[in-house]
Amino acid sequence: MVIGIIEDDKLLRKALDTSLKNQGYTTILAASRKEAIKNIDSSVDLLIVDIGLPDGGDGINLYQELQKNGKIPAIFLTAKDDEKDMLKAFDTGADDYVVKPFSIKVLLKRIEVVLKRKSNENTFLCGQVILYSDRKQVFVGETEIFLTVKEYQLLEYLIMNQNQVLTKEMIMENIWGIDSEFIDPNTISVMISRLKKKLKDSSNVISNVFGMGYRMGD
């Protein structure tokens, strides 16, 4: 597991680095926003982020910027117990929040809990498409793709039934339930076309099985 440490306090950054390495983690260090932008990439499994950084902006805004390449769990560190900062951090997607000074042992346990929660998340892969069903997010590589509710439901049904041929009737029943009898079957063709376009599906991970339906698979 790779943990990114974004902390400008040299002694604390060193203590975190040593403690995490002793627990078997790999670390990537940054002392400022500039270093974080340069060093942190998609290989990181968890971020420890100091809210106060020396080169402009705060850790929360930095975290938002780093998430453009995909959702990374984060634990924020702060020197002040400020409710507004806490709420802003959680609204940004923080997994936890620790007020300085804190026990390294307690932080290690919180890291363990966040990583365990991440590992238990339902994730589905097909080619470059990644679907996180718990948080309803879709990525193609490192780029997040934004779908309508029905487009997401269609993709989720396809990716959870990879390599199976799904008829239009099966898809309509899964997405619309008892209302499927009122849906024009051509609606599925339009939705598939729109979905493939959003996914930039040039490799045809979603394919038309002539006369039968659709299949998603490498």
Q: Domain boundaries in the chain?
A: 2-119, 123-216
* Topology given in CATH for the domain delimited by 123-216: Arc Repressor Mutant, subunit A (1.10.10)
Which helix (DSSP H) or strand (DSSP E) does residue 88 occupy?
Answer: helix 83-92
183 touches 172 (CB < 8 A): yes
- CATH code given to domain 2-119: 3.40.50.2300
Instruction: In whole angstroms, give the CA distance from residue 19 to residue 105.
Output: 9
Q: Could you read off the pLDDT of 11-62 as tens digits, one per residue? A: 999 999 999 999 999 999 999 989 999 988 877 889 999 988 877 668 888 8
**What is the rounded distance in angstroms from the CA atom of residue 130 to the CA atom of residue 151?**
15
Average pLDDT of the segment spanning 190-213: 87
pTM metric for this prediction: 0.58
